[in-house]
């Protein structure tokens, strides 16, 4: 079978590799759709490497090339003899995190026991930590990492399950924190600012409007006009960061109060220089974007003085069903199936061949109309 292999920083190659043989507790999945995530882009560009040795040091791509792609779904080709959850022909989405459940550990770590499986002490991740992901034709996956999809849910929409799961998990962490301002109670959240209108920012809008039923002001800042037009369609107020003075505009739209809840979804370190100017004291800040390079730790001093609550999040944890099925994935699928989240609106670029993805990583993501790329196979 063919695999798109990252041989080195910014260098993909198509390789012929063996089709994996599933074990008794595994299924062989024919990949039908796989999304391109910002994490994939960071690894491709050499800005991140999560494949580590026993001392925690990154293993160079030249030493261990990687197959990326962790947002994927497909069709069961073969089911191992012990598999009960699915059968050949079933459409499934894959939870990329190999945790205590999927590794068959008799004694689960405290994170898996508490529902934070993405923080598993022994976790590995398909397409991220050196284990092959979805940029191939077939993947062998343990049964516990498989979630059977409802009938008639298209593969491209189903592949949004993982990124939506990350947004659901992040929102749960925020809502369970000891916040001064909340969605219910005496001190209501009335003003929200989302930094970044990428796929995650757009999913946060839909979560807040369609699932949380938040009816206050949602401001969204970005620099790409096409994304900001979609922001308005999804029910939020777009702010072009290069055409308006964001501090002045946010202050004006919040009647001088500042925002009660800010979601940082850009991964840009520069935004921390002026975030203190648009938030209220003791406001909640969700740090969702990754990267934030180029800034000294001193930028956190204003947040300390203002006693802000900083919430961080990564992954799509959320506990398990009795058979090990990840609960957050089930919620994501339900919201996409029922139309509460418009997955289609996030997909701006579609590709039909692995060989097309080199262009996606080097050129297309820089286009003004790029939101999310998706490899979709018939």
Task: Report CA torsion sign: 290, 115, 126, 353.
Answer: negative
Radius of gyration for the alpha carbons in the chain, expressed in angstroms and rounded: 21
Letter string b/e over residues 178-214, b meaning 16 or more CB atoms within 10 A of that residue's CB: ebbbbbeeeeebbbbbbbbbbbbbbbbbbbbbbeeeb
Percentage of the chain beyond pLDDT 70 is 100
Q: Is there a single domain that holds both residue 94 and residue 10? A: yes
DSSP code of 18? P
Are 116 and 176 spatial neighbours (Cβ–Cβ below 8 Å)?
Answer: no
Identify the CATH number of the domain in which residue 25 sits: 3.90.180.10
Q: What is the pLDDT of residue 238?
A: 98
Q: What is the pLDDT of residue 185?
A: 86
**Does 188 have pLDDT greater than 80?**
yes
Is residue 367 a part of any domain in this protein?
yes
Q: Is there a single domain that holds both residue 285 and residue 302? A: yes
Cβ of 9: how many Cβ atoms within 10 Å?
14
Is residue 321 a part of any domain in this protein?
no
Q: What is the pLDDT of residue 296?
A: 86
Euclidean distance between CA atoms 50 and 60, whole angstroms? 10
Euclidean distance between CA atoms 176 and 319, whole angstroms? 15
Residues 283, 284, 286, CA angle at the centre, nearest 5°?
A: 150
Tokens, residue 134: 């979805």
SS3 146: strand
Question: CB neighbours of 332 closer than 8 A, spacing ≥ 6?
Answer: 160, 161, 162, 164, 165, 168, 316, 341
Q: What is the pLDDT of residue 294?
A: 81
β-strand 26-35 against 138-142: which pairing, if any? antiparallel
Kindly state the average pLDDT of the residues 212-223. 97
Q: Is there a single domain that holds both residue 91 and residue 186? A: no
**Does 378 have pLDDT greater than 80?**
no
Euclidean distance between CA atoms 57 and 69, whole angstroms? 22
Q: Is there a single domain that holds both residue 66 and residue 138? A: yes
Q: Which residue is listed with tokens 């999804």?
A: 234
Q: Is there a single domain that holds both residue 80 and residue 175? A: no
Q: What is the pLDDT of residue 258?
A: 97
Q: What is the pLDDT of residues 231-251, one digit of tens each?
A: 999 999 999 999 999 999 999
Q: What is the pLDDT of residue 15?
A: 96
**Does 205 have pLDDT greater than 80?**
yes
Q: Is there a single domain that holds both residue 303 and residue 351? A: no
Is residue 337 a part of any domain in this protein?
no
Query: Which of 312, 329, 357 is the last residue before a domain boundary?
Result: 312
Query: Which of 285, 312, 339 is the last residue before a domain boundary?
Result: 312
**Does 293 have pLDDT greater than 90?**
no
Is residue 322 a part of any domain in this protein?
no
Number of folded domains in the chain? Answer: 2
Is residue 332 a part of any domain in this protein?
no
Q: Is there a single domain that holds both residue 244 and residue 358? A: no
Is residue 331 a part of any domain in this protein?
no
Q: What is the pLDDT of residue 147?
A: 96
**Does 226 have pLDDT greater than 80?**
yes
Q: How far is CA 330 from the centre of its chain?
A: 15
Euclidean distance between CA atoms 273 and 280, whole angstroms? 15
Is residue 320 a part of any domain in this protein?
no
**Does 355 have pLDDT greater than 90?**
yes
Q: What is the pLDDT of residues 142-183, one digit of tens each?
A: 999 999 999 989 999 999 999 999 999 999 999 999 999 999
| Domain of residue 96, residue span | 2-160+347-376
Euclidean distance between CA atoms 95 and 323, whole angstroms? 14
**Does 260 have pLDDT greater than 80?**
yes
Q: How far is CA 33 from the centre of its chain?
A: 16
Q: Is there a single domain that holds both residue 203 and residue 130? A: no
Residue 329's Cβ-side half-sphere holds a number of Cα atoms within 13 Å equal to: 28
In this prediction, residue 5 has a pLDDT band, given cuts at 50, 70 and 90, of very high
Q: What share of the chain is helix, strand, coil (3-state, %, to 5)?
A: 30, 25, 45
Identify the CATH number of the domain in which residue 296 sits: 3.40.50.720
Q: Is there a single domain that holds both residue 176 and residue 113? A: no
In this prediction, residue 364 has a pLDDT band, given cuts at 50, 70 and 90, of very high
In this prediction, residue 50 has a pLDDT band, given cuts at 50, 70 and 90, of very high
Kindly state the average pLDDT of the residues 14-30. 97
Are 60 and 52 spatial neighbours (Cβ–Cβ below 8 Å)?
Answer: no
Residues 211, 212, 216, CA angle at the centre, nearest 5°?
A: 125
DSSP code of 19? P
Of the listed ranges 185-199, 289-303, 307-321, 363-377, the least confidently predicted one is 289-303
Query: Which of 312, 334, 364 is the last residue before a domain boundary?
Result: 312
Q: What is the pLDDT of residue 265?
A: 97
Q: Is there a single domain that holds both residue 68 and residue 94? A: yes
Q: What is the pLDDT of residue 237?
A: 98
Residue 300's Cβ-side half-sphere holds a number of Cα atoms within 13 Å equal to: 8
In this prediction, residue 209 has a pLDDT band, given cuts at 50, 70 and 90, of very high
**Does 291 have pLDDT greater than 80?**
yes
Q: Is there a single domain that holds both residue 267 and residue 238? A: yes
Is residue 342 a part of any domain in this protein?
no
Are 85 and 149 spatial neighbours (Cβ–Cβ below 8 Å)?
Answer: no
Please state, rounded to an integer, the average pLDDT across all residues of the chain. Answer: 95
Q: Is there a single domain that holds both residue 151 and residue 191? A: no
């Amino acid at each position: 079978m063919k695999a798109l292999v990252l041989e080195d920083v910014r260098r993909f190659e198509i390789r012929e590799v063996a089709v994996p043989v599933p074990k008794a507790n595994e299924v062989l999945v024919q990949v039908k759709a796989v999304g391109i995530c910002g994490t994939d882009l960071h690894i491709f560009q050499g800005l991140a490497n999560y494949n580590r040795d026993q001392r925690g040091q990154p293993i160079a791509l030249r030493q261990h090339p990687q197959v990326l792609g962790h947002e994927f779904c497909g069709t069961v080709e073969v089911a191992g003899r012990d598999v009960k959850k699915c059968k050949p022909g079933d459409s499934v989405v894959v939870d990329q995190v190999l945790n205590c459940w999927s590794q068959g550990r008799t004694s689960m770590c405290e994170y898996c026991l508490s529902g934070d499986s993405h923080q598993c002490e022994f976790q590995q991740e398909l397409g991220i930590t050196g284990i092959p992901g979805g940029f191939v034709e077939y993947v062998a996956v343990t049964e516990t990492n498989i979630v059977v999809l409802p009938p008639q849910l298209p593969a491209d929409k189903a592949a949004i399950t993982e990124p939506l799961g990350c947004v659901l998990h992040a929102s749960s962490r925020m809502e369970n924190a000891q916040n001064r301002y909340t969605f219910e109670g005496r001190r209501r959240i009335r003003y929200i600012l989302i930094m970044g209108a990428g796929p995650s920012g757009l999913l946060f809008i839909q979560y807040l409007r369609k699932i949380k039923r938040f009816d206050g002001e949602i401001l969204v800042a970005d620099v790409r006009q096409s994304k900001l037009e979609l922001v308005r369609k999804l029910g939020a107020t777009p702010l072009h960061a290069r055409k308006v003075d964001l501090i002045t505009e946010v202050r004006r739209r919040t009647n001088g109060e500042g925002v009660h809840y800010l979601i940082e979804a850009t991964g840009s370190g520069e935004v921390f220089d002026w975030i203190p100017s648009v938030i209220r004291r003791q406001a909640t800040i969700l740090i969702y974007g990754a990267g934030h390079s180029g800034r000294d730790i001193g930028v956190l001093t204003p947040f300390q003085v203002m006693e802000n609550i900083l919430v961080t999040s990564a992954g799509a944890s959320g506990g398990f069903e009795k058979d090990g099925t990840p609960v957050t994935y089930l919620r994501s699928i339900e919201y996409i199936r029922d139309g509460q989240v418009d997955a289609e609106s996030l997909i701006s670029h579609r590709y039909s061949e692995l060989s097309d993805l080199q262009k996606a990583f080097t050129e297309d993501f820089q286009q003004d109309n790029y939101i999310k790329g998706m490899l979709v196979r018939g």
